[in-house]
């Protein structure tokens, strides 16, 4: 039973850490971010299973993580509020070609991050865009200005 409690505490702690670090996709992880992920895995394992190196302990810990993930997914499908809490919501970071710097700051992004994302989508000038949206998964959506 101790492993279930430990796994639950660690699961929700990791959820807070991931949500608190901002919206990034795996493709945007820096080498330091990736190193942190790898090291976290070992640290978490020690915290969850403590001295229990048994297969049963590992199965219980993984089952708790999977169980919380499945419960979160099920609740997110049933409630928009829960989905926003667990998964996040889109953030408008550019409107009428103008970056919304307060939102960029809140998402810990630079103007150059926004420009780079726009270039990767084929937009050379932010002025060509009506909207720029940072999606909950860290990807960008851009909507071009309508000509005419």
Return the CATH number at 121. 3.30.240.20
Residue that terminates a domain, selected from 38, 67, 87: 87
Q: Where are the alpha helices (DSSP H) in the chain?
A: 2-20, 31-49, 55-78, 80-87, 101-106, 111-120
Residue that terminates a domain, selected from 66, 87, 108: 87
Residues 78 and 96 in one domain: no
Model pTM score: 0.67
Tell me the pairing of strands 98-99 and 140-144.
unpaired
Cβ 3 vs Cβ 64: under 8 Å = yes
Residues 9 and 21 in one domain: yes
Residues 10 and 52 in one domain: yes
Q: What range defines the domain where residue 99 resides?
A: 91-144
Q: Please choose, from the candidates 70, 67, 71, the residue with its C-alpha nearest in 3D space to the C-alpha of residue 7.
A: 67
User: Measured between alpha carbons, how far is 87 from 72 in angstroms, rounded to an integer?
Assistant: 9
pLDDT in tens, 80-139: 999 988 888 899 999 999 999 999 998 888 999 999 999 999 999 999 999 999 998 888
Residues 72 and 22 in one domain: yes
């Amino acid at each position: 039973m101790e492993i279930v409690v430990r796994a639950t505490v660690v699961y929700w702690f990791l959820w807070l850490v991931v949500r608190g670090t901002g919206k990034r996709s795996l493709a945007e992880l820096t080498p330091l971010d990736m190193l942190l992920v790898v090291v976290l895995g070992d640290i978490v394992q020690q915290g969850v299973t403590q001295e229990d190196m048994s297969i049963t302990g590992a199965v219980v810990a993984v089952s708790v993580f999977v169980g919380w993930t499945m419960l979160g997914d099920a609740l997110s499908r049933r409630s928009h509020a829960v989905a926003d809490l667990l998964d996040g919501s889109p953030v408008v970071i550019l409107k009428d070609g103008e970056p919304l710097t307060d939102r960029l700051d809140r998402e810990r992004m630079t103007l150059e991050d926004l420009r780079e994302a726009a270039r990767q989508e084929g937009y050379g000038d932010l002025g060509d865009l009506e909207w720029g949206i940072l999606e909950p998964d860290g990807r960008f959506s851009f909507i071009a200005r309508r000509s005419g």
